[in-house]
Amino acid sequence: MKEYTSETKAGLEERYRKCDEAGIYFAHQPIYGFRKGHSERGLIARYLRTYQLIKSLSYLEFTSLLDAGCAEGFQGYMIERIFGTDVRGCDLSEEACRRAGEIFGLEADPADIHNLPYDDGRFDVVVCSETLEHMVDHVKAIRELLRVASKAVVVTVPHEPVRKIKKNIELKIPHGHIHNFSSKSFEFLKGEGYQVYGRRFISRLLAVPEALLEATPMQEEEHAYPDWLLAAYNRYVSISDRFISDSVRKRIVAMLLPGDEALCRFVPCYGGLVFIILKGGAHAYGEKRRSFAAREIIDASVPLYRLGEER
């Protein structure tokens, strides 16, 4: 295992043991529900990624699925819940795999995505969300995902400025984003017989509405905003909590999830990409096979979890 991967693994093991002062597991995804805390910031962007992943799957037929880079298991849980299918996870972090099992009952295997411990075509579909940007060799990784999938691979990746990627590489940031992706990033697979479809999402035009809807207080050390702007935002959060209910916020977010994609079609200012890669013999992509509502994602939650609890 290369040095970068080893350092990344060590960092992830620590990350997925993280708890707050009360001993409650501090989640990567908004697993406890909309604005319920105990999870990382940027919950609407996280909902957008899950929405795009599930939307892509709704056009595919499958009975088995691997979530590669499953973290604590939220997306695998949502896929099981919406599609009623068999889902397995894997992650570089052993702690992440434990959390997936403890919190969601998701079976997950510690594994390096460059060398997965599964037979060829073991799963109908493989999903991989916000993971390839961290890989030492993302081309080898996507080929490995395709190897263990019999029908399709669905991936989401960030779309970021090249200068940001170069800075991460120069500073040797563990688990940093070390690859830049564009709508053409997987075009090379077409020459190998795969069908490749892509969509943009996370419109930068929604950055302000998202921050206002999430309305989570910010600390000075979290952002480099001027003091006056930070104070104004935190004041807004305090006031908005008194006048805007979470049910109203949820309704707005439920409209933003599908609306975001429409904005990205017309304004080339976006933060994410989703790719659907079909293997030979797979059904044509375009016929919807399962309907779902954005609220199914926004309303999903599990009880607060303390490490070591049995469920």
Domain boundaries, given as residue ranges, for the chain: 3-203+268-298
pLDDT digits (tens, 9 = 90+) for 3-21: 777 888 999 999 999 998 8
Distance CA 58, CA 75 (A): 14
The strand pairing partners of 149, in sequence order, are: 123
Tokens 């079609």, located at residue: 265
Residue 293 above 80 pLDDT? yes
What pLDDT sits at residue 281?
64
pLDDT at 259: 94
CA distance 295 to 276: 23
Note the pLDDT of residue 308: 75
Bigger pLDDT: 177 vs 2 = 177
Residue pointed to by tokens 């599908």: 258
- From residue 142, alpha-carbon distances to 9, 22, 56 in Å are 19, 39, 17
pLDDT above 80 for 283: no
- DSSP of 31-65, one letter per residue? TT-TT--SB-S-HHHHHHHHHHHHHHHTTS--SEE
Angstrom distances, CA of residue 247 to CA of 148, 213, 295: 41, 11, 11
Q: Tell me the pLDDT tens digit for each residue of 191-245.
A: 999 999 999 999 999 988 998 999 888 876 566 678 888 888 889 888 998 999 9
Higher pLDDT, 72 or 308: 72
* Segment 131-164, tens digit of pLDDT: 999 888 999 999 999 999 999 999 999 998 889 8
Mean pLDDT score, 10-37: 94
What's the fold here for domain 3-203+268-298?
Answer: Rossmann fold (3.40.50)
